[in-house]
Structure 1
């Protein structure tokens, strides 16, 4: 179980599969580099970036889903820990950023959609909403996507949001973290913070 969380009353979390660019995004948001493994599944504990004076923390949770070389039981354990963490701290989490890879997310979702299977990303999106945590889906690596609007509309469709995606700009944020173009995401997070009367935290986004 993740025991390292600083005792803060306000939190924004990053969740997502391995290799979607969460750590890069975390670095863009905090200006701070974290030790990340070169292989998926190396980050087994959350990375917390803590602003003690503001009673606020940004947390990058470990990646979930398929990871080459990581046994199934370890994968399941990580996912269980993530779910438990989110349930336990739901009341303090002001927004969750679900990071997906814009280039591959539709294929991955479709490959895992079936009568007995809900794709991890879709499941996580709905789980966060059930916990009443505002969710922003950061669609990363958009510089590699040609049919941008079409791809984002398809993602909305898979998540159960009616396209066109542009009506969901507080939920769908196309970004390229590696190039530092994350404004749609920071705008969306700021909207959610403002709605929760936490304008004191806008300075961090």
Structure 2
């Protein structure tokens, strides 16, 4: 269970291991975040806060398959992430679901075949059910050739109607490693504005 959460509004980053959440966090905050070649490096929430604004970005631990991490531990991490978001939903200004643009469709389809709801789809709907404005940050887009087709397919898997361009507040193609995150910051800016938190736009 994650304890010691600072009492303030936040944007949470959620997603599988190794999709680039910590790299994205570094882009958004300007803070160096420990990233590792091994999945599962982030085991506790990483909070980056601005005390004067009562606001923070939170990078939650990655979930899903992690090489060398027992299944029982993986499930516990996922449960902790879900409970954290559920418990603090009233203070979450936006949820950012980070996915790997190159592999997300294959991963979703592979798990759909097994008759289960894939983690990414499940988490997307979970955030929406909690009335948390949700942005899917589709990372590593520099490695994707058929960009529009891939993003339309992702909309289709998430249960929203393509074309993706009509969902710019929900679907944000980015490349965190190259510092190209404007689609995400634009979407977050819209959600901040809608919640009358224009005071936070300077952080984007």
> TM exceeds 0.5?
yes
Supply the distance in 1 between the matched residues of 2:58 and 2:149 (Cα, whole angstroms). Answer: 31
Cα RMSD for the two superposed structures: 0.9
Deviations 1:73-132 (A, max 9, x none): 000000000000000000000001100000000000000004630000000000000000
- Partner SS for 2:112: coil
Residue of structure 2 in register with 1:143 after alignment = 142
- Partner SS for 2:88: helix
Supply the distance in 2 between the matched residues of 1:40 and 1:134 (Cα, whole angstroms). Answer: 27
Pairing 1:80–2:83 present: no
Gapped regions of structure 2 (runs ≥ 5): none
Aligned residues, how many? 204
Supply the distance in 1 between the matched residues of 2:161 and 2:7 (Cα, whole angstroms). Answer: 38
Residue of structure 1 in register with 2:13 after alignment = 14
Pairing 1:58–2:39 present: no
Residue of structure 2 in register with 1:201 after alignment = 200
Q: Is the 8 A contact 2:20 2:139 kept in 1?
A: yes
Deviations 1:38-73 (A, max 9, x none): 310121101100100100011000001110110000
Pairwise CA distance, 1:34: 1.6
TM-score by length of 1: 0.98
Pairing 1:32–2:26 present: no
Residue of structure 2 in register with 1:92 after alignment = 91
Gapped regions of structure 1 (runs ≥ 5): none
- Partner SS for 1:201: helix
Residue of structure 1 in register with 2:176 after alignment = 177
- Pair 1:105–1:179, CA change in 2 (3 A): same
Residue of structure 2 in register with 1:3 after alignment = 3
Alignment of 1:132-171 (within 5 A): 132-171=131-170
Q: Is the 8 A contact 2:169 2:187 kept in 1?
A: yes
Deviations 1:164-203 (A, max 9, x none): 0000000000000000010000000000010000001111
Greater displacement, 185-194 / 113-122: 113-122
Supply the distance in 2 between the matched residues of 1:165 and 1:24 (Cα, whole angstroms). Answer: 24
